[in-house]
Structure 1
Amino acid sequence: MAFDSNIKLGVLGGGQLGRMLIQSAIDFNLDVHIIDPDENAPCKHIATSFTVGKLTDYDSVMAFGKDKDVLTIEIENVNTKALKDLRDAGKKVYPQPEIIKLIQNKLHQKQFYAKNGIPTADFKATATKAAVAELKEMLPFVNKLETEGYDGRGVSVIRTEADLDKAFDKPSFVEKLVDFEKELAVIVARNEAGEVTTFPTVEMVFHPVHNLVEYLISPASISPEVEEKAQTLAKTVVNKLEMVGLLAIEMFLTKDGEILVNEIAPRTHNSGHQTIEGNVTSQFEQHLRAVLNWPLGNTETVVPAAMVNLLGEDGYTGEAQYEGMDKVLAQKGVHIHLYGKKLTKPFRKMGHATISDHDIAQLKEKINFVKEHLKIKA
Structure 2
Amino acid sequence: MSTSSDTSYFSSSFTLGILGGGQLGKMLLYETRKWDITTKVMDPSKDAPCRLACNEFIHGDLMDHQTVYKFGKNVDVLTIEIENVNIDALEQLEEEGVRVYPTPRELRLIQNKITQKLFYVDHGIPTADFSRFAYTSEIQESISNGGLHLPIVWKSAQFGYDGQGVKIIREISDLKGLPNVECLAEELIPFKTELAVIVARNAGGSGVNYPVVEMEFHPEANQVEYVLCPARIDDKIAKKAIKTALKVSEELQHVGLLAVEMFLTQEDEVLVNEVAPRPHNSGHYSIEASYTNQFEQHLRCILGLPLGNTESKVAGVMVNLVGAEGHEGEVYYENIEQILDLRGVTPHIYGKSLTRPFRKMGHVTIVNEDMQEARKIAAEVKQTINVISKKKV
Q: Shorter chain as normaliser: what TM range?
A: over 0.9
SS in 2 for 1:54: coil
TM-score normalised over the length of structure 2: 0.94
Q: Which residue of 2 aligns with 1:35?
A: 42
> Map of 1:97-116 to 2, 5 A cutoff?
97-116=104-123
Cα pair distance change 1:4/1:170, threshold 3 Å: closer
> Map of 1:109-188 to 2, 5 A cutoff?
109-136=116-143, 137-165=148-176, 168-188=179-199
> Map of 1:199-278 to 2, 5 A cutoff?
199-278=210-289
Task: Give distance in 1, aligned partners of 2:21 and 2:108.
Answer: 20
Deviation at 1:126, TM superposition (A): 1.2
Task: Give distance in 1, aligned partners of 2:344 and 2:44.
Answer: 36
Task: Give distance in 2, aligned partners of 1:15 and 1:47.
Answer: 12
Deviation at 1:139, TM superposition (A): 2.0
In structure 2, which of residues 2, 5, 9 is the aligned counterpart of residue 4 of structure 1?
Answer: 9
1:85 aligns with 2:96: no
In structure 2, which of residues 356, 359, 379 is the aligned counterpart of residue 345 of structure 1?
Answer: 356
Deviation at 1:166, TM superposition (A): 6.0
Task: Give distance in 1, aligned partners of 2:55 and 2:127.
Answer: 41
User: Is the contact between residue 154 and residue 167 of structure 2 (CA under 8 Å) also seen in structure 1?
Assistant: yes
Deviation at 1:210, TM superposition (A): 0.5
Deviation at 1:45, TM superposition (A): 0.7
Q: Which residue of 2 aligns with 1:57?
A: 64
Q: Deviations over 1:277-300 (max 9, x none)?
A: 011100000110111111111000
User: Is the contact between residue 203 and residue 219 of structure 1 (CA under 8 Å) also seen in structure 2?
Assistant: yes
In structure 2, which of residues 358, 373, 388 is the aligned counterpart of residue 362 of structure 1?
Answer: 373
Amino acid at match of 1:249: V
Q: Deviations over 1:145-181 (max 9, x none)?
A: 1012111111121124454446653210110000111
User: Is the contact between residue 261 and residue 274 of structure 2 (CA under 8 Å) also seen in structure 1?
Assistant: yes
> Map of 1:252-331 to 2, 5 A cutoff?
252-331=263-342
Unaligned runs of 5+ in 1: none
What is the root-mean-square deviation of aligned Cα atoms in Å?
Answer: 1.3
Larger displacement relative to structure 2 (152-161 or 44-53): 152-161
Amino acid at match of 1:285: E
Larger displacement relative to structure 2 (352-361 or 267-276): 352-361
Deviation at 1:128, TM superposition (A): 2.8
SS in 2 for 1:248: strand
Deviation at 1:87, TM superposition (A): 1.1
SS in 2 for 1:44: helix
User: Is the contact between residue 264 and residue 270 of structure 2 (CA under 8 Å) also seen in structure 1?
Assistant: yes
Task: Give distance in 1, aligned partners of 2:108 and 2:136.
Answer: 25
Deviation at 1:133, TM superposition (A): 2.0
User: Is the contact between residue 136 and residue 183 of structure 2 (CA under 8 Å) also seen in structure 1?
Assistant: no
Task: Give distance in 1, aligned partners of 2:20 and 2:213.
Answer: 25
Amino acid at match of 1:102: L
Task: Give distance in 2, aligned partners of 1:318 and 1:133.
Answer: 38
User: Is the contact between residue 158 and residue 166 of structure 1 (CA under 8 Å) also seen in structure 2?
Assistant: no
SS in 2 for 1:180: coil
User: Is the contact between residue 136 and residue 182 of structure 2 (CA under 8 Å) also seen in structure 1?
Assistant: no
SS in 2 for 1:251: strand
Larger displacement relative to structure 2 (147-156 or 17-26): 147-156
Q: Which residue of 2 aligns with 1:48?
A: 55
- Percent of counterpart pairs with the same letter? 47
User: Is the contact between residue 11 and residue 73 of structure 1 (CA under 8 Å) also seen in structure 2?
Assistant: yes
Q: Deviations over 1:111-152 (max 9, x none)?
A: 010011110000010123442124434322101110121111
1:26 aligns with 2:33: yes
TM-score normalised over the length of structure 1: 0.97
Q: Deviations over 1:40-60 (max 9, x none)?
A: 100001101000110111111
User: Is the contact between residue 303 and residue 357 of structure 1 (CA under 8 Å) also seen in structure 2?
Assistant: yes
SS in 1 for 2:167: strand
User: Is the contact between residue 136 and residue 179 of structure 2 (CA under 8 Å) also seen in structure 1?
Assistant: yes
Task: Give distance in 2, aligned partners of 1:27 and 1:375.
Answer: 31
SS in 1 for 2:346: strand
Deviation at 1:369, TM superposition (A): 0.8
